[in-house]
Amino acid sequence: MLSETKLSLLQQLVQSASTEEIIWTKGYLAGFLDKNLIKNAVPTIENPIAVAVKPLIIYGTETGNSKKVASSLLANFKKNKIQAKAIDVFQFDINKLEKETLVLFVMSTQGEGEFPQNAVAFYENLKATNANLSKVSFAVLGLGDSSYPLFCNAGVLLDEALTEKGANRLLPLVKADVDFAETVSIWESELQKVIQNFGSNVTNEVKPTSSIVASGKKNYLGKISHKIVLNDIGSNKETFHIEIESDDEISYEPGDALGIVPKNKEEEIKAIATYFNEENYSILADKNIRGLSKKSLEAFSKLFEIEINEEKANLLDVIHKYQPKKVKLEEVIALLLPIAPRLYSISSSSEAHDGQVHLTVNLNKFKVDEGIKSGLASEFLADFPIDESLEFYIHKNQNFRLPSEETDIIMIGPGTGIAPFRSFLAERDVTGAEGKNWLFFGEQHFVLDFYYQTEIQEWLTTGVLTKLDTAFSRDQERKIYVQDRIREKATEFNSWLENGASIYICGQKNPMSQDVEQAIVAVIAQERNISEEQAKQILEDLENQGKYQKDVY
């Protein structure tokens, strides 16, 4: 409730404001709450009473969001005298589950509704176990993206499996979308209340409904106004700089991504429909026919009564190679998922680039048998005509944000991982941020593959970019990567960290981000004369504090 003075001021502002100003204020307040909710709005129980039960928090994560939620939950429990512990699902022995009293799961969903890699074995072991979980109470929080067909599917499957094994559902399954801060806060609040009274009112009669907070994604209609290849002639890569404009004001921040739903090529869906003696090929238009997963291919093996050896393949390639029996096209469609959105890190700043959105897109090419194939989304954007309508949305990423203007930052972004750091530098340039900026960039060849070289050199000249270290792997006999440059600059790198710098990594998860992380750990251990285990803990603490952020894929 507002005080009379504040209420009077608010009423005066609202009465004198235009409709546009009120709409803008609503958006501003929503954004402010989203940024600060987890930090400031997690409930603290007045005069908390220490409880006997000790919740176990198990998290399954691919990008780190579930781990962050679990760490936040653990910290808030301790504030309220609830002694809990958190563990990575990969490290948890399924045989110990029946000995637990209260288990809270934070589980993300990947790809086609799949578990994160570190949680696959746990789920399979859970399904196979004969353990009696009747003395175990649980709650599941699923993290996902409602743009995808199987939203929070890993959480759904886990919730069902635990119930099948006799465990007691403490709270209904909760599905959290990309902007999960508010959902997590509500879930924590409910957990705090239930745990304080644990043992007196636990029941298995809670209906297995799910709580979903709307994502609030806005679809934009724009056009590609400019598109160029950033590589020079002779490069092994084909990386596009793409500029998108819209009549609507596009709201985004550095660190956000742009989402598109690519379209199938007409000749491909027509060829598939024709093979199955169907003229209406349009029914395949929004189905994912490329890059089918092992799970999908196993389903097609059964349908076609053949053995498909590939781990991943396009449906049309399967047809050409195996010439399967001709079933009804409806049976094929039943096994296909809708095309999922593809996300691309935004490489522009709305402040510096007049509201445009820029992308840095590598045309994903790979060899299958003797042919060269391209990724659906990257090919869709590479071939998309200039000035034709393109539908897209902005994917907010609150876990990849610039720090305060006076904080130094270290950016590690080989290849198209440079994208968000171009956004960061452009933003810091236009706002006059005082923090120092150090960029590590790598690619194959200096002459052919130095993306945004002119801009980067200009930022060096003007002082926006304090330090630049590059690693062009194939310009010498021994391949050199960004992690090698980090090791070479160990003393200075560690000095920046000790002085409060934030670290950012963007690009391929495997093996790049893992190799870079190993290099950072080695540098911390070497320069501080501590063990690697201690160095890993320091890096983990930085991650929990939001000073080590990753956008990897």
Confidence (pLDDT) at 461: 97
pLDDT average, residue stretch 374-394: 95
pLDDT average, residue stretch 423-433: 97
Residue 5 binned pLDDT confidence (cut-offs 50, 70, 90): very low
Confidence (pLDDT) at 63: 76
Long-range contacts of 24-31 (CB under 8 A, 24+ apart): 27/251, 30/216
Q: Mean pLDDT of all residues in the chain?
A: 87
N- to C-terminal Cα separation, the chain = 44
Phi, psi values for residue 181, rounded to 5°: -55, -50
Confidence (pLDDT) at 399: 85
Count other Cβ atoms within 10 Å, centred on residue 546: 14
Confidence (pLDDT) at 200: 53
> For the chain, how long is the longest CA-to-CA vector?
77
Count other Cβ atoms within 10 Å, centred on residue 126: 20
pLDDT average, residue stretch 10-18: 48
Confidence (pLDDT) at 528: 98
- Tokens at residue 190, please? 């409910």
pLDDT average, residue stretch 488-492: 98
The helix/strand/coil state of 260 is: strand
Q: Are 38 and 185 in contact (CB under 8 A)?
A: yes
* 533-546: pLDDT as tens digits: 999 999 999 998 99
Query: What's the alpha-carbon Rg for the chain, to the nearest Å?
Result: 25
pLDDT average, residue stretch 434-447: 98
Q: Are 89 and 126 in contact (CB under 8 A)?
A: no
Higher pLDDT, 208 or 135: 135
Residue indicated by tokens 């298995």:
204
In sequence order, which residues have a C-beta less than 8 Å from that of residue 91 and are 6 or more positions away? none
Rounded to the nearest 10°, the torsion over CA 538, 542, 548, 550 is 80
Confidence (pLDDT) at 172: 93
Confidence (pLDDT) at 541: 93
Confidence (pLDDT) at 42: 47
Q: What percent of the chain has pLDDT above 90?
A: 70
In sequence order, which residues have a C-beta less than 8 Å from that of residue 93 and are 6 or more positions away? none
Q: What percent of the chain has pLDDT above 70?
A: 87
pLDDT average, residue stretch 174-203: 81
* 92-139: pLDDT as tens digits: 999 999 999 999 999 999 877 889 988 999 999 999 999 889 999 999
Residue 331 has pLDDT above 80, yes or no: yes
- How far apart, in Å, are the Cα atoms of 289 and each of 262, 335, 361? 12, 10, 21
Length of the chain: 553
> 38: burial class by Cβ within 10 Å (0-12, 13-18, 19+)?
buried
Residue closest to 377 by CA, chosen among 390, 391, 361: 361
Residue 282 has pLDDT above 90, yes or no: yes
